[in-house]
A and B are shown apart, each in its own frame.
Chain A
Amino acid sequence: MTGILAASSGIFSKAVLTSLVAGGIVAGLPLMFTALGETISERAGVLNLGLEGMMLLGAYLGFIGAYYGHSSWLGFALGAVGGMLGASLMVSLCVWLGLDQIVVGIAITLAGEGITSVLQGAEFGSTYPRLGSPSAVAIPLLDKIPVLGASVFTQPLLAYLGIAFAGALVWVFRRTNVGLNLRAAGEKPEALDAAGISVLATRSWAVLSTGALAGLGGAYLSIVAAGVFTPFMTQGQGYMAIVIAMLCRGRPLWVVVGSILFGISLSITTALQIAGINISNDLVQMLPFIAIIVSLMAFGRRSYLPPALCIPYVRGAR
């Protein structure tokens, strides 16, 4: 009983709140980048089950860049390239040749898991070197907010850029021709083709930017959130990102909020440990997936996917 009392007073302590919210943001950002990417490609009519593999490729190459280049920016850039490598496979097989998106997606995930694990073993053996923490930027004034300000508003520059990117994406989707083309490629590709714009090119760019974002998400995971690369480190986050993108119905700002919510559920472990509550790590790691099943049962009926999703576009085919 005393333990529970002590714990309940501990739950609302500053340290716990900080680790929950700030940890949630750190854990949520990889999800956010990846889910934003999936939003783009889903809107354009390509479902990307290879997200998990692209994240791992980005995480590994990003780690290599940051480790040998001593610069987290080099790491992020290489991570994006890594994700695009996986995506280029998807572009050539699924968009250009019109092959099955599910099978290719599973293949990319397996290949990403396998190749990063093999390369990690070949490069570092059984050691897992760590990176220093990347430099963070504090937002003036906001970081003076008591309790949470300092931890929430002091993030690596890329975090702010990512959130700004989500805002920009809203504008792109709603107000620009590029956004209109993307949506048309997912809703009615024939109409886009009739308007004289290449469906395949539109989808290719969409999938490539998805790969870049997933790679960036993976790199953020290995460079900022974990500071280390371990094989299979994404642990299903690529699939989580797919669900977030589905439930947010292609709305970038919802994706930001949703990702951070899922990030918080990922960071509950550390928060509970600080609060002195000892709950099995396995139980806590299940929480995001339980949350997804529950939210699918509750909101699944309202999710929306474009009608041309997963259908390869063949000109003139009916």
Chain B
Amino acid sequence: MTESLSLAAEAAGVLDAQPDRPGGGSPRSRRVNALRDAMMRSLVPVLLALVAGGVLLLVLGDNPFAFYGNIWQYGISQGSWEDSAMRAAPLLLIAVGLIVVFRANIWNLGYDGQFLLGAALITGVAPHLERLPNALSLVILFAVAMAAGGAWTIIPALLKARYQTNEIITTLMMSFIGIGVANILVKGPFQDPTVNIPQTRVIPFDHMLPPIPGTRIHAGVLVALGVALLAHYVLTRTSFGLRLHVLGANPRAAAHMGVDVRGLIVRAFLISGALVGAAAAADILGVWGYVRANWNPAYGDTVIPFVFLARLNPLAVIPFIIFFAVLSTGGDLAAAQANLSTDFLLVLVALILLFMTVIEFLGRRRDLGGSYLTPGLRAALRQPLVRRRAGAASSNEASR
């Protein structure tokens, strides 16, 4: 099975991902060049975005140096790096969750709904587990959140697997529904009756994730790092990872080699949703302890550019996530001090995305080694909302 798979992978062009570059000298200098190019392609968009963001700050009448200085102060120095590390946990788990589906050329843009549903369910279930030992209740709560996140991908997954309905649209719609359901739960059955503001009961401190000894950082950060390592192993060293990659590179080749395409689509979606749910568990059980009504940190939106900059590699994404965790932890306070809306960070993220596409364009010209996006992911939207059998589609066109 594995052998035939690698054949299929070769046929689908997965394995020769690094084409011979023109003008390369010895293998070593070529490797150095490739590394330099990769660094450039990954770092330049971020730097350009920071510069452009600084210009924008100037226009708004703020001092960009003071702003970025504050980010450093509130994001790294004097123990605030511990806050940044804790912010990185949910971001990293969501990033890995996105990488799993993106590798199969499937878009999961429903992370907000999956995240909030998981978060709401945790705070609803936690009060019933207070008699259990902490370790057991933590495992159950993680499982609950992961099940909730995974379950919320089932409809888009089945529609995609069965009818090839465009998952960008369906996951987005399910996300809005999920946010609504989470709010109903928080304002209704899970609401803490002793408080006036609509929010859930606060999980007692001894039932939260324990801190790493000597720091304030909760153990969820280690879980997230472990998951990223595991995901890297599974995606690059197992037949499941290869199957996902083949599915992403060429679904037809995958089907020909006997890969259960429909099942694989559903499994990829379930894993992705479950990881987003785990992100909610790490964030709620590590930092917040409760959910307020209409709370939506929208972590997923901000993670997307970094997933692409890391070229769908779970290890490469870690430094990017750490960078953004510092930026967002420090940025929240820096923005407050500069009298800016914290949504300024969204602008920075958008700028990174835009510069990324521009560098991609320049890179294509100069052949700066490979694209951020796999060709299939780019093609995902080209499919009609639902792909019909080839004959039916063309006859439909002829009759118009």
The reply to whether chain A is a binding partner of chain B is: yes
A: residues with CB less than 8 A from B are 47, 49, 89, 93, 97-104, 106-111, 113-115, 117-118, 120-122, 187, 231, 235-236, 239, 242-243, 246, 280, 282-283, 285-286, 289-290, 292-293, 296-297, 300-301, 303-305, 309-311
Q: In angstroms, how far is the closest chain A Cβ from the Cβ of B44?
A: 16
**Contact A282–B358 (Cβ < 8 Å):** no
Q: In angstroms, how far is the closest chain A Cβ from the Cβ of B151?
A: 15
What's the Cα separation between A238 and B24 when bound, in Å? 47
**Contact B180–A242 (Cβ < 8 Å):** no
Determine chain A's interface SS by DSSP, over half rule.
Answer: helix
Could you mark each residue 348-370 of chain B with 1 if its beta carbon is under 8 Å from any beta carbon of chain A, else 0?
A: 11110110111011000000000
Partner of A282, one of B60, B169, B187, B308: B187
**Contact flag A292-B173 (CB < 8 Å), given A110-B353, A305-B384, A310-B382:** yes
Interface size class of B (residues with CB under 8 A): 35 or more
What's the Cα separation between A106 and B357 when bound, in Å? 12
**Contact flag A118-B170 (CB < 8 Å), given A93-B358, A102-B378, A296-B385:** no
**Contact B165–A282 (Cβ < 8 Å):** no
**Contact A104–B357 (Cβ < 8 Å):** yes
Partner of B170, one of A98, A103, A285, A293: A293
What's the Cα separation between A118 and B350 when bound, in Å? 14
Could you mark each residue 169-199 of chain B with 1 if its beta carbon is under 8 Å from any beta carbon of chain A, else 0?
A: 1101110110011011001100000000000
**Contact A289–B356 (Cβ < 8 Å):** no
Q: In angstroms, how far is the closest chain B Cβ from the Cβ of A297?
A: 7
B: residues with CB less than 8 A from A are 60-61, 107, 155, 159, 163, 165, 168-170, 172-174, 176-177, 180-181, 183-184, 187-188, 301, 304, 308, 339-341, 343-351, 353-354, 356-358, 360-361, 373, 378-382, 384-386, 388, 396-397
**Contact flag A301-B350 (CB < 8 Å), given A99-B361, A110-B301, A293-B177:** no
Q: In angstroms, how far is the closest chain B Cβ from the Cβ of A9?
A: 27
Partner of B343, one of A97, A114, A242, A280: A114
**Contact A122–B60 (Cβ < 8 Å):** yes
| B107, B351, B353 — most chain A CB neighbours (10 Å) | B353
Q: In angstroms, how far is the closest chain B Cβ from the Cβ of A279?
A: 10
**Contact flag A101-B381 (CB < 8 Å), given A93-B354, A110-B301, A292-B173:** yes
Q: B304 to chain A: which residues have CB within 8 Å?
A: 106
What's the Cα separation between A280 and B294 when bound, in Å? 13
Partner of A283, one of B180, B341, B354, B356: B180
**Contact flag A310-B381 (CB < 8 Å), given A120-B341, A301-B386:** yes
Q: B343 to chain A: which residues have CB within 8 Å?
A: 113-114, 117-118, 121, 231
